[in-house]
Chains A and B, each alone.
Chain A
Amino acid sequence: KNEVEQSPQNLTAQEGEFITINCSYSVGISALHWLQQHPGGGIVSLFMLSSGKKKHGRLIATINIQEKHSSLHITASHPRDSAVYICAAPIRGAGSYQLTFGKGTKLSVIP
């Protein structure tokens, strides 16, 4: 059972397109993380949000806690945005809250 689901799994876009990646979760949470995994394998945190919207450059993340849904938007996409985007939520495991990760969305932006 996947408690954190992402869609789409793969996404190909033309440079300049507006991109949306979706994340839904099945249990109540109070915050959600978005991360980026570069083609070389490194993982960096993009956002941690608990309500509303956050913006960093061309990246915008939104969350609706009640609807159990978050989106990551990329405006004016560029080939350097090509990466795997991962959402993660702190979900109670045995004894404590642990980050549960989606399987990721692989984004390819074509010049």
Chain B
Amino acid sequence: NAGVTQTPKFQVLKTGQSMTLQCAQDMNHNSMYWYRQDPGMGLRLIYYSASEGTTDKGEVPNGYNVSRLNKREFSLRLESAAPSQTSVYFCASSPEHPSYYEQYFGPGTRLTVT
């Protein structure tokens, strides 16, 4: 099992460009999450999908959109990238939501917006 995979691992964007971060899990988990990690701050939830067909905002959703394509895949889209979105992005999955279950994290995507 690959667990949680993310693509790409690194990305550099210019301000105003768009991109989609891809995430997939092969553990048949119902719930998936997108977090960002910035220096000096804890991981912060951007969006989550408690189950296939549903998505909800987290703590810092502005500037992002998500799609739960199917049970396996959950993508994060930046429509018009800004320097404030420079961060490391982690996707995670867990068997169920809410967060009383262990979460499994992907390797992260390091995004720089210039």
Instruction: Please tell me if the beta carbons of A48 and B42 are within 8 angstroms of each other in the complex.
Output: no
Inter-chain contact B56/A103, CB cutoff 8 Å: no
Majority SS at the chain A contact face: strand
Contacting residues, chain A, for B99 (C-beta < 8 A):
33, 88, 90, 97-99
Q: Chain B's nearest CB lies how many Å from the CB of A38?
A: 10
Cβ A33 vs Cβ B108 within 8 A: no
The answer to whether A63 has its CB under 8 Å from any CB of chain B is no
Q: How many residues of A contact B (CB 8 A)?
A: 27
B8 to chain A, nearest CB (A): 14
Inter-subunit contact B107/A31 (CB<8 Å): no
Most A-side CB within 10 Å, residue of B48, B57, B99, B104 = B99
Q: How far is the CA of A50 from the CA of B101 in the complex (A)?
A: 11
Task: Verify if A41 is at the interface (C-beta below 8 Å from B).
Answer: yes
In the complex, chain B residues whose CB is within 8 Å of the CB of A50 = 100
Chain B neighbourhood of A4, CB < 8 A: 42
B100 touching A96, Cβ below 8 Å: no
Task: Evaluate contact between A90 and B42: CB separation under 8 angstroms.
Answer: no
Complex contact A103–B103 (CB within 8 A): no
CB of B88 closer than 8 Å to a CB of A: yes
- Check if A44 sits within 8 Å of B98, measured CB to CB: no
A78 CB, min distance to chain B CBs, angstroms: 23
Which residue in A31, A96, A101 is a CB contact (below 8 Å) of B42?
A: A101
Contacts from A to B (Cβ < 8 Å)? 4, 30-31, 33, 35, 41-45, 48, 50, 86, 88, 90, 93-104
> What is the interface of chain B, defined by CB distance below 8 A to chain A?
33, 40-45, 48, 50, 56-59, 88, 90, 92, 97-105, 107-108, 110
User: Can you report 13 A-B residue pairs in the complex whose CB atoms are below 8 A from each other?
Assistant: A35-B105, A41-B107, A41-B110, A43-B108, A48-B101, A50-B100, A88-B43, A96-B50, A98-B48, A98-B58, A100-B42, A101-B44, A103-B40
